[in-house]
Structure 1
Amino acid sequence: MCVIMALSPVVVNPALADSKGQVAQSAKAARSAAAATQISQRDLQCLAEALYFEARGEGAQGQRAVAEVILNRVDHPRFPKTVCGVVNQRGQFTYNKNARIREKGTFARVQKVAIAALSGAPRTLTDGATYFHTRQVKPSWSRRFERTTRIGSHIFYRSGVRRVASN
C-alpha cells in the first residue's frame, strides 16, 4: 500500500529480500536513482505496485506502456493529479490493492520501470493513451475512444477523440 509521502530515498520492504539480498541490491540502485531525481516514495510505491499487478507478465516495453498510461492520466484534467490518486481511483484498475507481492525479482524489475517513468523517461509508446485493457476482454468503453496501439497482451486507447464508424 502507499504509506510514505516524503521526498526521500526509496525504501523497499525488507520482507521482499531473499537470503542473498538480491532485492536489497536493487533497492540500493533504486535509492540512488530516486535520490538523484527526487522521486516521491509514495508515487514510486503506488506505480510499482500497479505495474506489478497490472503488467508483471509483460515484457519491459509492455510495463513501460502501462506506466505511460498512468502518468498520462496524472497529466490529464479528467483524472486525479497524483500517481497514487490515479492508481487508487475507484473502478479504474482491476487488481486487489491488498494483494501480496509474491514474486520478488519481478517486483524489483517493475520498480526499475517505475523509477525510469517517474524520472521523466519519454512517453512514446502509447501515443498519449489514457486507457488500456487486455486482449482477452472487449469492454464497452473501448468503442468510445481511439485505439492507439497494441503492446503485448494490452490494447491502448486515448480519450478526447471519438471513433468514427467506417463502412
Structure 2
Amino acid sequence: MSVLKSWTGGAIVLLALAGGLRAEVTVSQSNDPGEVAEQGLMSVLWQERSAMSAIDKRRVTALTMAPARSKNVASQKNLPPVLSAEWLSKQPAANGGDQFQCLSQALYFEARGESVKGQQAVAEVILNRVDDPRFPGSICGVVHQSNRRGCQFSWYCDGKPDRVRNPAAYAEVAKVARAMIDGAPRSLTEGATYFHTRAVYPSWSRRFDKTAAIGHHIFYADPIRTAEN
C-alpha cells in the first residue's frame, strides 16, 4: 500500500512539473501573456476591416453621417427630400436677404435650364462649399469667389451684364434657393463640392470622385481617404 502511495505521489509530482514546464514554455513564447488576447482582438479587427473594404466608400459615409442640412434652418416640417415642380408650384413667391439673392442668382445663371432636381443639385454644391472650411463661409462668398483663372462660377466675371431676362425662370429658382436655405436635405450629390457640364471634361475632374450625374451636370467630391490609400 505504501509503495502504491509512493508511486502515486511521484506521478502527481511529475505531472505537476510537466504542467509547470508547459506553462513556462507557453509564457516563454511570448514576453507578454496578454499577447494571446491581443492577437484575438487583431483578428477580429482584421475581419471587420476586410468586411468594410468590400462596401462602397461613399455608402459607408452615407450610413455613418447624418444628411447635410443648411445651417440656417427656418422650418423643415414641410420640406420634401427631393424638390419637384409640383411642390414648388404650391409655394408662395420666395424672398430673402443678400444670401438668398446670391443663391438665386447662381441657380438662375448656372441651372435655369435644368429640371428642379438639377437646380437642387447645384444648390447643394454651393451650400456644401459654405460648410467646407476650404471655401468662404457664406453663400455670397462662395458664389463670388475668384481663382487663378477668374471666378469659380464663370458667369459672375465673364464681362457680361448679369441681367435676369426670364422672370418666370428666376421665380422658380428662387423657390429652390429658399427651400435649400430653409433646410431641405442635400440628398442628391453625396456631398459634392464641384461640378461641370457634360459638354466638357476638365482635367481637374480626374482628381475627384464622381458622385452624381443629373441633367446637364456631373458632380464630384473629394476622394474619401481610408487606411488603404
Q: CA RMSD in A?
A: 1.9
Residue of structure 1 in register with 2:21 after alignment: none
User: What is the distance in 2 between the residues matched to 1:161 and 1:95?
Assistant: 30
Residues 99-158 of structure 1: CA distance to partner in whole angstroms, max 9, x if unpaired? 211000000000000000000000000000000000000111101111001000100001
Equivalent in the alignment of 1:154: 217
Whole-angstrom distance in 2 between the partners of 1:149 and 1:29: 30
Do the aligned residues in 2 keep the contact of 1:54 with 1:94 (CA within 8 Å)? no
Distance 2:156 2:129 in 1: 20
Task: Supply the AA of the counterpart residue of 1:94.
Answer: S
1:51-90 to structure 2, matched below 5 A, reads 51-90=107-146
- Scaled by the length of structure 1, the TM-score of the pair is 0.73
Q: TM-score, normalised by structure 2?
A: 0.53
Correspondence list, 1:81-120, <5 A? 81-90=137-146, 91-96=151-156, 98-120=161-183
| Counterpart-to-counterpart distance in 1, 2:223 and 2:142 | 18
Residue aligning to 1:145: 208
Residue correspondence of structure 1 range 127-142 to structure 2 within 5 A: 127-142=190-205
Structure 2: which 5+ residue stretches go unaligned? 1-89
Q: 1:126 aligns with which of 186, 189, 206?
A: 189
Matched positions, count:
129
List runs of 5+ in structure 1 lacking aligned partners. 1-25, 35-40, 163-167
Q: Residue 67 of structure 1 aligns to which amino acid in structure 2?
A: A
Larger helix percent: 2
Structure number with larger C-alpha Rg: 2
